[in-house]
Each structure stands twice: as C-alpha cells, then as structure tokens.
Structure 1
Amino acid sequence: MKTVSVPTKEQVSPENQVLFENLTKSIGRVPNLFAVYAHSKNALGTYLALANAKTSLRAKEKEVVNLIVSQVNGCEYCLAAHTAIAKSHGFTDEQILEIRRGSISFDVKFDALVKLAKSIAENKGHADQQLIDNFYAVGYDEGSLIDVVIVVGDKTITNYVYALTGVPIDFPAAPSI
C-alpha cells in the first residue's frame, strides 16, 4: 500500500534540497526511500547522521546486520538496496543469501554477528544469551554490541518507513530465499 509520494528536490525544504544535492554528489542519485524522509523537514538529516555515524563495525559487518534485519522485517526495498551495497563491498551472491538465511559458513565472526543481529531483531532486543557469549568469543566487545544495536535500530527505521509508504523500489530486486 502506497501512502506517501516520492518528493522531488523542488518539493522539499531548502535544508533537504542541500541533502539531496549532497546525496547526488556522493552516490549519484537520491534513493526513493531517502527522498520520502524529506517530507519531514528534519528526518532526512537525522537519519543520514545516524546511518553515517562513527562505529566500531566495518562496512561489511554493517551490511551483515542490514541484510539480516531487513530479512527478519520482510523489507523488500532494503533487501534490494543492501544486496547491491553488499556486492559492492565484495560479498558474492551466495554469501548474501547465507547472510539473509542467518547462518554463515564462510566466516566465523560474521556468523556470530548475523546470528546475534537476527536474535536482536526477532526478539525485540532480548537476544539469546548464548548468541551474545558467542559474539564476545569471536572477538567482539561491549562497544561492538552497542554498535550492533545502533545498526539494528537504523535498519528497523528504514524497514518501517518502507512498510508504511510502499515507496517504489529503485534498486534491482533481491533474489528470493
């Protein structure tokens, strides 16, 4: 169900017009989901600050979390976007499918991360203690745990915006699993 239009640069506030220009310079366009945030004078800037904030997680680790949370939440938009982003970070098609299934055979550390992030998303923050222990056992620390929660929250926000708006997906569709 589509309830919100995708605004153009001319239809958003001057503050958001600047953000549209910055997005176009950095990634070549304004993805539809980001454009929808610009219906609010503040939401796009707030979201971009969160998404681009410093973290202890590497880009590939963030994509592991982004993919599994989007899978748990059934967000077709974010699955499409993060499949493309994950490929740009060097993940193969099969690795991306493993991530989305929530069990990774190609990297022990990513496996602990994906299982924990999946449990966090599925259980509204009440992750299985054994998964937390496994996360620490592969080299993550308490700061990493908090950073994972921030990425889960970031992705949950975008998943919910898509669920509420049905914004047209402007990335190649992610394969079914």
Structure 2
Amino acid sequence: MSRLNTPAPEDVPDGATRNLDRLGAQLGFVPNMFKTIASNPAVLDAVVNLQSTMSRVLDAKTRHTIALAVSEANGCAYCLAMHTYVSSELGGMSSRDIELSRAGGSVDRKRAAAARFAQQVVASRGRVGDEDLAAVRGAGYTDPEILALVTVAVQALLTNFLNNVNQTDMDIPDVGSPGEPG
C-alpha cells in the first residue's frame, strides 16, 4: 500500500491535471506514480519536464536501457515494471534486451557501455573512475553525450527514490527478478 496520499481525481491541484491528461494520452493510462506526485504540481512539473527534455538527448532504447539498469541497482520494483512495460510495449525492446539492461548490459555494445556506466554512476555516487570514463568513451560516447548519460541516470534515480519512499501501489505487471518471468 502506498505510503503517501494520492489525491482523488477531483482533488488534484490546479496545474497538475494538464500533465496527468498528457501522460494518460501518451501511455494509455495514468500511472500511480504520477497520480501521487500530482499532489505537488511543482514536483510533477519538474519530473515531467525533465523526462520531456531528456527524451531529446539520447535515443529511446538507450534511455530505457539506462532506466532499467539504474532501477535494478536501486531495487525499485515500480520503476522496473514501468520501464519494462514502456520498453517492450512502446520502445520495441526485446525481452532479452530488457533482461540484459537490468543486469547492466544490452544486445547493443554501445548501449551496454551506457548501462554499465550508469550503474557505476549510481554505485559510486557520481565518483566514477578514469577507467569508467575511458570505457564509455571507448564505446563511442562524446563528452556531451556522457553528460546526457549521467542526467538520464539521475532522472531514473529521482523516480526510483520517489517510488521507493512511497512504496507506490503497482498498477502494471510486476516484472520480478532478472531471469524470472514478468
């Protein structure tokens, strides 16, 4: 059971309804995470705007790969379920690639490097080593792209933390542990 209050639809504060409507149109439903965040329109705006902005800096499969790798590292069941759903249903990722992403890999060499780097950013709290930067650069990422990789990882951390604090009620299928059926 969620630990933070989720406003009833008629009690959603002014300014949050527009974002919820857009999310519902985009995803086909409004996820519980966003319903809860809607209790603070400024936080909802920040999360939605960050996601929108970051959707323009890296391709979707790389963003999904990072989100899955970071969500696995943080043990966020809600985010794993959501990113698995979005990655497979809207992002065209295979079950195998999703499983690899959760483990910090990918069927694509460059995306695998992004996943490993993102997990290292999380594990080291941003204090990655020179070898981590060399590895991600060696996979073909430029410094501006590395900034995007870090920001997408932090975006995933943000929603992981919000959902882990809240223990958000699952409104999408739980995906289980890596290698388990979802």
Q: Give the structure-2-normalised TM-score.
A: 0.90
Matched with 2:41 is 41
Alpha carbons 2:69, 2:102 under 8 Å: kept: yes
SS in 2 for 1:68: helix
CA distance in structure 2 between the partners assigned to 1:10 and 1:73 by the alignment? 33
Shift, 1:27, TM fit = 2.1
Q: For residues 2 and 20 of structure 1, do their structure 2 counterparts lie closer, same or farther at Cα, with a shift above 3 Å needed?
A: closer
Aligned letter for 1:155?
Answer: A
Shift, 1:38, TM fit = 1.0
CA distance in structure 1 between the partners assigned to 2:108 and 2:25 by the alignment? 34
SS in 1 for 2:133: helix
Higher RCO structure (Cα 8 Å, ≥6 apart) = 1
CA distance in structure 1 between the partners assigned to 2:167 and 2:125 by the alignment? 23
Q: For residues 26 and 107 of structure 1, do their structure 2 counterparts lie closer, same or farther at Cα, with a shift above 3 Å needed?
A: closer
Q: Deviations over 1:75-98 (max 9, x none)?
A: 000000001111132221122111
CA RMSD of aligned residues (A): 1.5
Stretches of structure 2 lacking an aligned partner (at least 5 in a row)? none
Matched with 2:4 is 4
- 1:146 maps onto 2:150 in alignment: no
Matched with 1:14 is 14
What are the residue-to-residue correspondences of 1:21-36 with 2, within 5 Å?
Answer: 21-36=21-36
Alpha carbons 1:6, 1:167 under 8 Å: kept: no
Matched with 2:102 is 100
4+ residue runs of structure 1 moved beyond 3 angstroms?
A: none
Matched with 1:176 is 177
The range that moved more, 94-103 or 56-65, is: 94-103
Q: Give the structure-1-normalised TM-score.
A: 0.93
CA distance in structure 1 between the partners assigned to 2:57 and 2:19 by the alignment? 25
Shift, 1:34, TM fit = 0.8
CA distance in structure 2 between the partners assigned to 1:79 and 1:93 by the alignment? 13
- 1:63 maps onto 2:64 in alignment: yes
CA distance in structure 2 between the partners assigned to 1:151 and 1:129 by the alignment? 20
Percent identical pairs in the alignment equals: 26
SS in 2 for 1:15: coil
Shift, 1:136, TM fit = 1.0
SS in 1 for 2:41: coil
Q: Deviations over 1:149-169 (max 9, x none)?
A: 111111111111111111101
Q: Deviations over 1:85-124 (max 9, x none)?
A: 11132221122111111233x2210111111011001110
Shift, 1:56, TM fit = 2.6
CA distance in structure 2 between the partners assigned to 1:60 and 1:97 by the alignment? 13
SS in 2 for 1:53: helix
Matched with 2:133 is 132
Q: For residues 103 and 21 of structure 1, do their structure 2 counterparts lie closer, same or farther at Cα, with a shift above 3 Å needed?
A: closer
Stretches of structure 1 lacking an aligned partner (at least 5 in a row)? none
CA distance in structure 2 between the partners assigned to 1:120 and 1:148 by the alignment? 9
